[in-house]
């Protein structure tokens, strides 16, 4: 009789597995540092492990069925194991996971993506949003001959050294002083600070990088005046305006920058455009993208063993096709309703729900930064109520969700916030 592996047995009988965090290697150390494969998984205590996902639901090794509003940190716009995406990825994989020459799947995804960004001309794919931002910065520096960049405080642009600087001292550990000195962090929506920074040394700056809805800053939206000023200054002084839409692309059919009516010189994205597989992309105007044209003398080398791999490209193309204008509008409306509903229940407790469209986050009212203990307490309070968010409590909606599901999310989130606000007894993860 065929044997079943440990994962299959766990899924079948829904019994908790031995805590994987405790598994140790031959020298006695945990197999993974701290027991985690990503620092961003950490919630203050050993977390559950996913066993299976389907649509808007996920099941874990503790026997819980959860509403998945984490969606792998917003990337699963169509939820878990969407059949059309699964079919496309499986078909591509059956012909070969990746090759050392180009594949035709890249062209389809590039065409679909640029169709939503009509004022941009070309795409270069990478393996992650982090890589996309790194490439965009390098293109900006090469094209301008300058080194410094301007970012917004609280903006998140991945884990490259430049991107870590605006996170503050804890993120800057291990980053060289030279890199730190090359980055100017501007307070969110401080137009005058931005203007003074650029005009004090216009020949020093290669780029302005904007995260239009920075989660690290509590999911506060950058205002129209700030974005338009950044565009004006970049044009006047020859800087490259980079808008990072790795997360926010979902908020508009033409990206969130399309909602502002502002065209960046380079736009970085990822997450949803990979259909659940690793992906990143730099989209830009032809003159800038020529910097990575290998047929051009002196061009910038750009590689990545799995960049543009057929599985990510095929899955991503289906994901974009499925995310129609109507679906963008529907999800955004559901998110707006959820924020309004939860706010009406938690405002008196001193909390608020921030965000735009299909992204929302609960934070103490007026907070510029939420301490880690509060974030973890809310994560576990949500988990105990069957709601899975990110460790920073960012929730993202997915297309399998309807009004009933989102109303359920709002109810569970409000209950969790009120429990934390009233300093309810410690939940499982906070013990």
CA torsion, points 272, 110, 295, 308, in degrees to nearest 10? 40
**260-298 as b/e: b if 16+ CB within 10 A:** bebbbbbbbbbbbbbbbbbbbbbbbbeebbbbbeeeeee
d(CA 287, CA 265): 10
Structure tokens at 242: 């980079």
Query: What is the β-pairing status of strands 65-68 and 387-388?
Result: parallel
Give the torsion sign (CA, 126, 152, 166, 255).
negative
Residue positions counted in the chain: 431
DSSP-based helix, strand, coil % in the chain, nearest 5: 45, 15, 40
CB 105 within 8 A of CB 318: no
Q: Which residues are catalytic?
A: 156, 244, 271
CB 62 within 8 A of CB 15: no
Place of tokens 């200054």: 233
The CA–CA distances, whole Å, from 231 to 135, 155, 207 equal 20, 17, 11
Give the start-end residues of each E strand in 147-246.
148-152, 183-186, 205-211, 240-244
357-117-278 Cα angle (round to 5):
75
d(CA 116, CA 254): 5
Among the listed residues 180, 189, 169, the one whose alpha carbon sits nearest the alpha carbon of residue 147:
180
CA-based R_g, the chain, Å: 22
Among the listed residues 245, 302, 314, the one whose alpha carbon sits nearest the alpha carbon of residue 277:
314
């Amino acid at each position: 009789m065929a044997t079943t592996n440990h994962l299959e047995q766990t899924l079948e009988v829904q019994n908790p597995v031995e805590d994987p965090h405790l598994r140790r290697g031959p020298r006695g150390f945990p197999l993974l540092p701290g027991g985690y494969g990503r620092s961003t998984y950490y919630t203050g205590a050993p977390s559950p492990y996913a066993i299976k996902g389907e649509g808007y639901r996920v099941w874990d090794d503790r026997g819980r069925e959860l509403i998945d509003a984490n969606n792998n940190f917003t990337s699963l716009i169509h939820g878990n194991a969407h059949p059309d995406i699964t079919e496309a990825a499986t078909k591509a994989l059956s012909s070969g996971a990746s090759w050392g020459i180009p594949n035709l799947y890249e062209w389809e995804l590039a065409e679909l993506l640029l169709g939503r960004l009509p004022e941009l001309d070309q795409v270069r794919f990478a393996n992650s949003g982090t890589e996309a931002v790194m490439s965009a910065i390098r293109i900006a520096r090469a094209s301008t001959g300058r080194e410094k960049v301007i970012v917004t405080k609280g903006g998140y642009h991945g884990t490259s050294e430049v991107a870590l600087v605006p996170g503050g001292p804890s993120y800057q550990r291990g980053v060289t002083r030279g890199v730190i000195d090359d980055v100017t962090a501007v307070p969110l929506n401080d137009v005058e600070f931005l203007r003074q920074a650029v005009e004090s040394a216009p020949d020093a700056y290669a780029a302005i990088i904007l995260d239009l809805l920075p989660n690290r800053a509590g999911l506060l939206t950058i205002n129209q005046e700030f974005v338009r000023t950044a565009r004006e200054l970049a044009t006047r002084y020859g800087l490259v305006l980079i808008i990072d839409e790795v997360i926010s692309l979902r908020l508009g059919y033409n990206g969130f920058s399309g909602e502002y009516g502002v065209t960046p010189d380079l736009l970085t994205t990822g997450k949803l455009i990979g259909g659940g597989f690793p992906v990143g992309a730099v989209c830009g105007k032809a003159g800038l993208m020529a910097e990575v044209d290998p047929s051009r003398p002196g061009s910038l080398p750009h590689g990545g063993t799995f960049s543009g791999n057929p599985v990510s490209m095929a899955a991503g193309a289906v994901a974009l096709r499925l995310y129609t204008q109507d679906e963008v509008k529907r999800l955004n409306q559901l998110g707006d309703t959820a924020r309004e509903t939860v706010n009406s229940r938690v405002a008196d407790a001193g909390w608020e729900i921030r965000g735009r469209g299909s992204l929302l986050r609960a934070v103490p009212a007026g907070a510029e930064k939420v301490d880690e203990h509060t974030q973890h307490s809310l994560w576990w309070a949500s988990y105990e109520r069957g709601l899975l968010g990110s460790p920073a409590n960012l929730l993202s909606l997915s297309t399998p969700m309807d009004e009933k599901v989102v109303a359920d999310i709002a109810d569970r989130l409000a209950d969790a916030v009120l429990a934390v606000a009233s300093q309810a007894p410690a939940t499982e993860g906070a013990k």
